[in-house]
Amino acid sequence: MQRICLFLMLPLLLASCATAPPSNVENACRIFREKPDWFDASLTVEQKYGLPIQVQLAIMRQESSFRHNAAPPRDSFLGIPMWWRVSSAYGYAQVKDETWDWYKDRTGNWGADRDDYDDAVDFMGWYADVSQKTLGISKWDAYNQYLAYHEGHGGWQRKTYNSKGWLVSVARKVDANARMYGEQLRSCRHSLKSSPWWWPF
């Protein structure tokens, strides 16, 4: 009976491990050794769109702390929490409903989910590609890529971030983390392995 229960619970335990944030978000090598399927997805995005893996990680860390179901706080009325949230942003990449619909429409990736790491990093690569083509922002420029990611392409063009000192500080933090992750990956990238065939089943 115990063996049957463990067998039935195994898929749930594996799914929980698959969606849990990395145990150490300060080290890119440890992130990918803990989650080899993430490395596969990020490498695919880097090859497909040219967005460096370290920039992907730095932006995702800032947006969701690598939580698959991250969401903004609930709105409140007269100090009473309401059932709706202050924004429709959701998932690893904290993408709003309308932006996610735009991505799916342009890429044809209609089955994409914001709480799926593969889809989230594919969105980030696609969005950075649009930023580079329309705004001329290098995909290696984590600072400006993040500002365009946060403010939208129109906001970046209007330089709306100049009136938001806190956002400029955050963008500098994203840039610093991207540089840190890049240095770490240089020492371990060659040894990172693809995810095993059974993951996450």
* Pairing relationship of beta strands 74-77 and 80-85 according to DSSP bridges: antiparallel
Q: Which of 73-82, 124-133, 162-171 has the lowest mean pLDDT?
A: 73-82
Distance of alpha carbon 112 from alpha carbon 161, whole angstroms:
30
Tens digit of pLDDT for each residue in 116-154?
A: 999 999 999 999 999 999 999 999 999 999 999 999 999
Per-residue pLDDT, averaged over 108-113, amounts to 97
Q: Which of 71-75, 109-113, 164-168 has the lowest mean pLDDT?
A: 71-75
pLDDT of res. 56 = 98
Work out the number of other CB atoms within 10 angstroms of the CB of residue 9. Answer: 10
Question: Which residues are registered as beta bridge partners of 74?
Answer: 85
Tens digit of pLDDT for each residue in 32-61?
A: 999 999 999 999 999 999 999 999 999 999
pLDDT of res. 65 = 97
List of residues 6+ apart from 159 with CB closer than 8 A: none
Share of the chain above pLDDT 90, in %: 77
Helix, strand or coil, per DSSP, at residue 93: coil
pLDDT of res. 139 = 98
The C-alpha angle 39, 119, 59, rounded to 5 degrees, equals 65
Share of the chain above pLDDT 70, in %: 79
Confidence of residue 78 (pLDDT cuts 50, 70, 90): very low
Mean pLDDT rounded to a whole number for the chain: 87
31, two tokens: 């992130």
Question: Which residues are registered as beta bridge partners of 77?
Answer: 80
**Whether this model's pTM surpasses 0.75:** yes
4, two tokens: 């049957």
Residue-range domain boundaries for the chain: 25-64+116-191
Per-residue pLDDT, averaged over 149-162, amounts to 98
> Tokens 């995909």 appear where?
139
Confidence of residue 71 (pLDDT cuts 50, 70, 90): confident
